[in-house]
Amino acid sequence: MKRRIKPQTAEKIAKGAIWTIALMVIGILIAIIVYILYKGLPVINWSFLTEAPRRMGKEGGISSSIIITLSVTALAVLIAMPFGIGTAFYLAEYTRDNIITRIIRFSAESLAGIPSIVYGLFGYIFFLEILGLGWSVLSGGLTLAIMILPTIIRTSEEAILAVSKTYREVSFSLGGTKWQTIRKAVFPSAVRGITNGIILSVGRSVAETAAVILTVGSDLKMRTMAIHFYQLVMEGISMENAYGTAAILIILIFFINVVANMLIDRFIAKGR
Amino acid sequence: MKKFKEKLSGRIFLLLALSSISALVLITVFIFVQGLPIIAKVGFFKFISGMEWAPGEGEFGIFPMIAGTVSVTLGAALIGIPVGICCSIFMAELAPEKMRKIFRPAIQLLAGIPSVLYGFCGLIFVVPLIRDYLGGPGMSILAGSIILAIMILPTIISISEVSLIALPRHYKEGALALGMTHWQTILRVQLPAAKSGIVAAVILGIGRAIGETMAVIMVLGNSVAIPESILDSVRTLTTNIGLEMAYASDEHQQALFATGIVLFVIIMILNATAQYITRKKHSKTQNKRKSNETKNQTADR
Amino acid sequence: MQNKIEIKNLNFFYNEKQVIRNFNLNIPANKILSVFGPAGSGVTTLLRSLNRLCDLSPEARSEGEILLDGKDIRSPDINVTELRRRVGIVFDVPTPLPMSIFDNIAYGPRLKRKKKDGKISETVELALRQAALWDEVKDRLTVPAMSLSGGQQQRLCVARVLALKPEVILLDRPCSGLDPISTAKIEDSLTELKKQFTIIISPHNTQQAGRISDRVAFMLMGELIEESTNVEVFKNPKDQRTSDYITGRFG
Amino acid sequence: MKYKICIILLVALICTVLMTSCGEEEGTKIVIAGSTSVQPYAEILSEDYEALASEIKVIINGGGSSAGISAVMKNVADIGMSSRSLNEKESGLWSVEIAKDGLALIIHPDNPVTNLSIEQIRGIYTQEITNWSELGGVNHKIHVISREEGSGTRSAFSDMVMDGARITPKAIVQNSNGAVRQLVSGDKYAIGFISLGLVEHQDGLKPVKGLSINGITPIRENVINGSYNLFRPFLFVSNKEPEGTVKDFIDFILSEHGQQILIDEGLISVSPEKEIG
């Protein structure tokens, strides 16, 4: 005969298990970050941040990689942002749900799942072979812009659609035009979600390897931090500098997350 | 002036939309134009069921890669889904406010870590552990599954947490009022009610696992063979592209783009499933709302 | 008695479903008109079609004439945004925008043209006074409007419409979620306001209609059953269905 | 006001980005791409070259031998680096050998095996031999590690060792010398092949052991004197006879100074007599 466990006991067991699992996940995350910082922080000093790499990256710092990472990311996001957000507004506010918008949404969603290497190859053939831009920040930025475009469209559109219908009705009922309604009633409420999508895209651009290696290239002084790290590890050139690079990458991403959230709270979402 | 602004803004949005859509169309067409000739030449069925991959000798069969993708993704799902759902329950129901405040940004950060770093961690921690304690070369389905499971956690956790939190409060209150314990409420009321959101989260997570490239290149071993155990090395569709794309030319390159098409189709099917599930739920609640309060007849937008 | 709005042969459809049938009604200026009826009888749709807010639903379609000061608001050359300033609406639930109290009230005036903030704050104060909210919020105009109580939020919405200086005010069950005290406050200010505005209200119960309205219209299944003065309809309904509804036999 | 400041900042940012990417003038820039095996050496050469000719900037990308050659054909790069001989399709290109590189089979230092014949290696890579005990080692499965399709190192290995046979699909595939080295250094039962120059112990890396082939130890001297015959050329490829700065750079590499740099890094000079003398 099977004895039933008392619900209270079952609850204790289940809750205990979930706590354990959750704490384990947090533990793994902390372990990864702490390990990289532990190995990487001692390498970081002023000259590591300000000197260009030498001897395949064995010597010198990663200043050029930091600059390239920041400029490729900035370029990509600045290009993709207006197009992505504009498209999202168009889809959400100016069209009715029909087969064409559904196809657009669906393909944007599917393109967001395509491996980045395919974007890299597209960028290589289109920007380097056809347009002759060469391995450059420009080619990489444009490629990344196309890569993050679906993400920005999707997250922005979701944020816009999530804005309560009543805000629009109120704005219209108070005599607002469509543009005024979008700018003054919809945008301020959607801005949080839109910026979240952009932060996500910034993170993706900073972390991207496969697409960038084909378009920005892997020249020692012309590569992003993620590529620099990958090359140092995979070619077994210098583990020390690899850890240093990884630590700076993590700090940068942490910084982007924290600062962006702070800025939003401080400037955009105030009065809410 | 106002009229002009109104028109102008509409035009600008249309212009922006058209250009980004044409960029998306461009890349889709590009992938298909590059990849379809080789599929036509080899034959679709032969391409996806072929066992041999030797582009140098004109052998283009990607079945081992499909098997690899399926096995690694399955592994990642088996580990990642339960853990992810547990974490989302934890965040939505169990965690004290303070923990939640740490947990949520931590999960965000987890999503932002470069995949090469995950791959690297797999390379220096997971692979040696498997090699020393379970045998084999260490680079294996198991290693890839573990790393991918960690990588898909943020997707699963954040989306299912949202769908748990979005449940109306009276679900929980009603169940508790009937004398259920908190755990029974979670298990019998809240999880089933949030099912569609959780399923969508899982499918998106799986999509991410299928699409991941750099991390799995570093831990899977990439051999082109049908795996016999979870300790065997495999190659996925993405790693096949990632490894060889840079070198490839002519037919080899086309074959890699064709691999991309197969991947694209798989991800499209997954997305369509996710959309179908979420939409079904959507229209259901909409219908209910309509019948309940017919006075409020205005539809969305 | 001059008619502010004349509705002639109005038919209204959502897709194939007809919500308003062959509707004729004259609405006098500077009076409170209550339009009521059981759920689904088309009251909300009627109110929303008076400032063409129904246009926002793509599946909506209408026939007939709605004359505002003798001009058909459904004609293509009418400026819709201008119309909506002239015919303001308050919804059945409080709908403050996610901004401060001041910005909520100033939202409408600011849309129109750039004014000096000094002038706008006068408008805001006047509107809040008219809605009997000024004394409660004058010290905290910059706090988010969401932090007000439900009744205060709804009066804020009334004030927001008043700041537009409209000619007609539509109120769609404005007190449905409110307690009796808040309801009384709103009703008081409405009686004050009818001196300046034409008010059309969909009351949340027949008692309210009886308390505040000058004229009353009863709707059923999209049709106008009867329309007359307050006393006439409640004391001496002409139609059996009206008296059934008022006495609570159905609905 | 706040918006205006933001817009000005954005415009300024875009301008700086565009300027950094378009800053260099054409003609003073040499773009090189190709084999990841050659890339590190090319980087070292370019550093010394840039020190001599400071107005010239050399940009070196990896990608792989085939990618480099195809980049040259499509005019994306001035010079392609290849770690294998050119095939028939590519024979129309101009090329020069800048150095030779030995290829070494490596295993874990704890593995007792020290010597293999070419036939045995072929057996391992075709899976006819699957256990170390068949080669005098411990009784354990061999973990075969190879490079990816299209890699110069792999095709050189195929040409020299495999004799037309196909490398087993069961082999683990890694996409760089460093990755193969790292994997072998941690796995007692693994075997792989990498550039000879990378076998030796390096700072911060675990050691690996180079296998003797037919009794000949894999060291530079044996490559130079011809007894160790697993080696491949490092080629610079161009789609036309080089001129101007490109020619200048190649001349620098082939000069005594340039060759000495490569020798110091463990490669074999293209003019061995000079080196002995």
> What percent of chain B is modeled with pLDDT above 90?
9
Domain residue ranges in chain B = 65-250
**Beta carbons of C44 and B297 less than 8 Å apart:** yes
Residues of A in contact with B270 (CB under 8 A): 113
pLDDT at D3 over 70: no
Mutate to test the interface with B, among A4, A5, A13, A18 (most CBs of B within 10 A): A18
Residues of B in contact with C81 (CB under 8 A): 2
d(CA D220, CA D268): 7
**Beta carbons of B295 and C58 less than 8 Å apart:** no
C140 CB within 8 Å of a chain A CB: no
Can you give the pLDDT at residue A143?
92
Give residue B81's pLDDT band: very low, low, confident or very high (50, 70, 90). very high
- Strand ranges inside chain D, DSSP E: 29-34, 57-63, 79-82, 94-107, 115-116, 143-147, 172-174, 190-195, 209-210, 212-213, 231-238
d(CA C65, CA C50): 11
User: What pLDDT digit, counting tens, does each position of B31-65 carry?
Assistant: 888 889 888 888 888 888 888 888 777 788 888 88
Domains within chain C, CATH numbers bracketed? 3-246 (3.40.50.300)
Can you give the pLDDT at residue B191?
87
The identity of residue B48, as a single letter, is I
Residues of A in contact with D63 (CB under 8 A): 213-214, 218
Class of domain B65-250: mainly alpha
In the block, tokens 């409020």 appear at B296
Under 8 Å CB-to-CB from A160, ≥6 apart: which residues? A88, A89, A92, A93, A186, A190, A193, A194
Higher pLDDT, B294 or B146: B146
B223 → chain D, closest CA residue: D172
**Rounded alpha-carbon distances, angstroms, from residue B281 to B163, B199, B275, B290:** 12, 11, 10, 14
Longest dimension (CA), chain C: 57
Can you give the pLDDT at residue D24?
47
Under 8 Å CB-to-CB from B274, ≥6 apart: which residues? B199, B200, B203, B204, B207
Can you give the pLDDT at residue B284?
47
Separation in Å, CA of B294 to nearest CA in chain C:
5
Residues of A in contact with B23 (CB under 8 A): 83, 146, 149
pLDDT at B294 over 50: no
Q: What are phi and psi of B130, to 5 degrees?
A: -65, -40
User: What pLDDT digit, counting tens, does each position of A239-248 carry?
Assistant: 788 888 889 9
What would the mean pLDDT of A122-137 be, rounded to a whole number? 83
Q: Using CB atoms, pick whichever of D63, D166, D179 lies closest to residue B246.
A: D63
Q: Which chains contact A through at least 3 pairs of Cβ atoms less than 8 Å apart?
A: B, C, D
**Beta carbons of B297 and C56 less than 8 Å apart:** no
Two structure tokens written together for D154:
């792999």
Give residue B75's pLDDT band: very low, low, confident or very high (50, 70, 90). very high
d(CA C232, CA C246): 12
> What percent of chain D is modeled with pLDDT above 70?
86
B218 → chain D, closest CA residue: D174
pLDDT at B158 over 80: yes
Of A139-148, C89-98, D10-19, the poorest mean pLDDT is in D10-19
Separation in Å, CA of B49 to nearest CA in chain D:
16
User: What pLDDT digit, counting tens, does each position of D209-261 carry?
Assistant: 888 888 888 888 888 888 888 888 888 998 888 888 888 888 888 888 888 88
Spatial CA neighbour of A160 closest among A111, A208, A196: A196
Separation in Å, CA of D149 to nearest CA in chain B:
6
d(CA A175, CA A178): 10
3-state DSSP: chain B helix, strand, coil percent, rounded to 5? 80, 0, 20
Q: What are phi and psi of C237, to 5 degrees?
A: -65, 140
Q: What are phi and psi of B63, to 5 degrees?
A: -60, -45
Chains C and D touch (3+ CB pairs under 8 A): no
Separation in Å, CA of B299 to nearest CA in chain C:
6
d(CA B226, CA B68): 7
User: What pLDDT digit, counting tens, does each position of B99-113 carry?
Assistant: 888 887 788 788 778
Dihedral angle at the C-alpha atoms of B276, B277, B283, B285, nearest 10 degrees? -170
Q: Are D81 and D226 in contact (CB under 8 A)?
A: no
pLDDT at A29 over 50: yes
Question: For chains B and C, what is the number of CB pairs under 8 angstroms?
Answer: 26
**Beta carbons of C82 and A168 less than 8 Å apart:** no
Q: Which chains contact D through at least 3 pairs of Cβ atoms less than 8 Å apart?
A: A, B
Can you give the pLDDT at residue A13?
87
Mutate to test the interface with D, among A56, A126, A209 (most CBs of D within 10 A): A56
List the pLDDT tens digit at each of the 251 positions of chain C: 577 888 888 888 888 888 888 888 888 888 888 888 887 788 888 888 888 888 777 788 888 888 888 888 888 788 888 888 888 888 888 888 888 888 888 888 887 765 555 678 888 888 888 888 888 888 888 888 888 888 888 888 888 888 888 888 888 888 777 788 888 888 888 888 888 888 888 887 778 888 888 888 888 888 888 888 877 788 888 888 888 887 876 64
**Beta carbons of A26 and B102 less than 8 Å apart:** yes
Of A74-78, C182-186, D19-23, the poorest mean pLDDT is in D19-23
Can you give the pLDDT at residue D145?
92
Interface of C with A in 204-243 (CB under 8 A): none
In the block, tokens 């895209």 appear at A201
User: What pLDDT digit, counting tens, does each position of D118-163 carry?
Assistant: 889 999 999 888 888 888 888 888 899 998 877 888 888 888 888 8
**Beta carbons of B112 and A104 less than 8 Å apart:** no
Q: What are phi and psi of C219, to 5 degrees?
A: -115, 145
Can you give the pLDDT at residue B291?
40
Residues of B in contact with C19 (CB under 8 A): 297
Spatial CA neighbour of D125 closest among D109, D103, D110, D147: D147
Residue D39: in which H helix or E strand, if any? helix D39-52
DSSP letter string, chain C: --EEEEEEEEEEEETTEEEEEEEEEEEETTSEEEEE-STTSSHHHHHHHHTTGGGGSTTEEEEEEEEETTEETTSTTS-HHHHHHHEEEE-SS----SSBHHHHHHHHHHHH----HHHHHHHHHHHHHHTT-HHHHTT-TTSBGGGS-HHHHHHHHHHHHHTT--SEEEEESTTTT--HHHHHHHHHHHHHHTTTSEEEEE-SSHHHHHHH-SEEEEEETTEEEEEEEHHHHHHS-SSHHHHHHHTTS--
d(CA D53, CA D73): 27
Residues of C in contact with B295 (CB under 8 A): 39-41, 43-44
C100 CB within 8 Å of a chain A CB: yes
Round the average pLDDT of chain B to a whole number and report it: 81
**Beta carbons of B298 and C19 less than 8 Å apart:** no
D202 → chain A, closest CA residue: A237
D172 CB within 8 Å of a chain B CB: yes
Residues belonging to chain A with any Cβ–Cβ distance to chain C shorter than 8 Å? 96, 166-177, 180, 184-185, 188-189, 271-272
d(CA A29, CA A34): 8
Two structure tokens written together for C31:
């009076």
**Rounded alpha-carbon distances, angstroms, from residue D25 to A265, C100, D19, D240:** 44, 55, 11, 21
Counted residue by residue, chain A has a size of 272
Give residue A141's pLDDT band: very low, low, confident or very high (50, 70, 90). very high
**Beta carbons of A231 and D62 less than 8 Å apart:** yes
Residues of B in contact with A206 (CB under 8 A): 112, 114
Q: Are D132 and D140 in contact (CB under 8 A)?
A: yes
Q: Which chains contact B through at least 3 pairs of Cβ atoms less than 8 Å apart?
A: A, C, D
Can you give the pLDDT at residue D13?
64
Residues of A in contact with D17 (CB under 8 A): 71, 74-75, 78, 137, 141
Q: What are phi and psi of C100, to 5 degrees?
A: -70, 165
